[in-house]
Amino acid sequence: MRLNKVSAISFDLDDTLWPFGPAVARAEAALHAWLLEQAPGTALALPTAQALRTLRDEHELSRPDLAGNFRALRLGSIRLALELANEDVALAEAAYEVFYLARQKVEFYEDVLPALSWLSARFPLVAVTNGNADLKLVGCGEFFRAHLSAEGFGCGKPDAGIFLEAAMSVGVPPEELLHVGDDFNLDVVGALNAGLQAAWLVRDGFTEAEGGGFNASRPHLKIRDLAMLCQAVGGPGSLISAPRSTAC
């Protein structure tokens, strides 16, 4: 497929603009250190940050009704940690704030900020995420006209509703909104099913097997970084050093 008219661009956040795993690992380490200081009993109940993460994952499995509500899931797991340690559960809110603020300290991929600067001067940009990043806190809020999260909107990707709302938020028809993301099913298939154009960002190499329904849901672009995206929508090759984009 080839790109058609692009009037606006939407972006996934985690693992598209920054790596998600390291950000969460740092946040969990900050949370664990805070708990050890403020609720010393957690040292026995949850001696490592990994134990805290395991508790959070187990809590998510036990609460399918909270799927996508990352604040509620994290808070619930913190309360469980405090209960296991016979500590004051009222500390949970303050502990969550420590985690949340640390989670916003992301490290952008090196191509991201130059690309967002160039793109935002030419297209309205929208963030569409199933996560809970705060664009102002992470340091790229000035580039985006709108920010839609699954928790705030009420449903997340790949539901067509959040993509259609993204198009509406910047006043363009769905077919003129190009969505960019790393997850084939959530970002590519979801965007295509909503009538958008889709760019699949694969930073670490590509095989068609990674794309599940690739043959049935072919993205308009496959890109290795956002420099390739800029070139695909008319940017100069010298904006950021990168290979040319690949149309599908």
Average pLDDT over residues 94-122: 97
* 49: helix, strand or coil: helix
Could you tell me which residue, 241 or 126, shows the higher pLDDT? 126
| pLDDT tops 70 at residue 211 | no
DSSP 156-187: -TTSHHHHHHHHHHTT--GGGEEEEES-IIII
pLDDT at 239: 58
Q: Is pLDDT of 206 > 70?
A: no
Given a contact cutoff of 8 angstroms between Cβ atoms, the answer to whether 36 and 42 are in contact is yes
Q: What percent of the chain has pLDDT over 70?
A: 89
Percentage of the chain beyond pLDDT 90 is: 80
Averaged pLDDT score across all residues of the chain:
90
Mean pLDDT within 236-241: 56
Q: What is the pLDDT of residues 58-71, one digit of tens each?
A: 999 999 988 878 89
8-19+106-247 against 21-103: fold identical:
no
Domain segments of the chain: what residues? 8-19+106-247, 21-103
pLDDT at 215 over 80: no
State how far the Cα of 50 lies from the Cα of 182, in Å rounded to an integer. Answer: 26
Is the pLDDT score of 210 beyond 70? no
Q: Does the pLDDT of residue 187 top 70, yes or no?
A: yes
- What is the CATH number assigned to the segment(s) 8-19+106-247? 3.40.50.1000
pLDDT at position 248 is: 41
CA distance 233 to 229: 6
Four-way CATH pick for 21-103: 1.20.120.1600, 1.20.120.80, 3.30.390.50, 1.10.357.140: 1.20.120.1600
User: Beta partners for 236?
Assistant: none
Q: How many residues does the chain have?
A: 248
Q: Name the pLDDT band for 240 (thresholds 50, 70, 90).
A: low
pLDDT reading at 241 higher than 70: no
* 222 strand-pairing partners: 200, 246
